[in-house]
A = this chain, B = another copy of it.
Amino acid sequence: MRVLIVEDERRLAEALGQIMEEQRYQADLVYDGADGLDYALSGQYDVIVLDVMLPKLDGLEVVHRLRCAHVSTPVLMLTARDEIDDKISGLDHGADDYMTKPFDSGELLARVRALTRRQGEVQGEELCVDDLTLSLTTRALTCREKSVRLGFKEFAVLRLLMSSPKAVIPKEEIISRVWGLESDAEDNNVEVYISFLRKKLSFLGSRVSIGTVRKVGYHLEVPAP
């Protein structure tokens, strides 16, 4: 799980980073709104912790621009102010949750967990689409009786697809989310893994299949019920 922390008070930012890393999140820290927006636009994060009062670019503005760019990473806003109007305005700008400083680190973690859980659409340890169940802990893919083990990359690719079923995931996005932002993986790598996955899907006899959208990417297809 990757977290982006945008907070201009360095000491607080680093404390947050440490808290998150203790929970095995991978945290990136940036200290102003402009950098925050740049990083966030990469879409590689699972959640963003965002201060409202920031140099260069206001937190509200950051969320707003993010949403305009169709980046839907969950955002948890932080603020020193405790005005209800601010809360509403934050949420309406596209934030997903809101906390006022000072806050309890346990509550922060709980809220972050709640936000990241929604991503997979499914709570807890598994991701389901139609007759498929992907265990997030064992990386086992199950359909009815049968079950197969996925490799790490296979898992990462399928997880991406399953976490927004129907949506078409562009190849570049798969590359940046699975191989990393600055990797030199080529399109063919994705194709090969899609091929691996289709083989396993058909072995399992699942109703779900992976559809191709030429020149764009892939998406899950589940036959009408």
Contact = CB atoms under 8 A, between A and B. Distances in A.
Nearest to A221: B138
Interface string A161-174: 00010111000000
Contacts of A123: 67, 72, 94, 166
Contact of A139 (B70, B106, B213): B213
A87 B72 contact: no
Given A92-B113, A138-B219, A122 B87 contact: no
A215 B152 CA distance: 7
Nearest to A74: B118
B87 A110 contact: yes
A153 B87 CA distance: 36
B94 A138 contact: no
A166 B85 CA distance: 37
Interface in A82-119: 84-85, 87-88, 91-92, 94-97, 104, 106-107, 109-111, 113-114, 117-118
Contact of A72 (B111, B113, B122): B122
Nearest to A66: B123
Interface residues of A, number: 43
A128 B214 CA distance: 22
Given A92-B113, A95-B114, A107 B84 contact: yes
Contact of A137 (B95, B118, B168): B168
17 contacts: A72-B118, A72-B121, A72-B122, A72-B123, A74-B118, A84-B106, A87-B110, A88-B106, A91-B110, A92-B114, A96-B114, A97-B97, A97-B114, A122-B164, A123-B166, A139-B216, A152-B215
Interface of A: 67, 70, 72, 74, 84-85, 87-88, 91-92, 94-97, 104, 106-107, 109-111, 113-114, 117-118, 121-124, 128, 137-139, 151-152, 164, 166-168, 213-216, 219
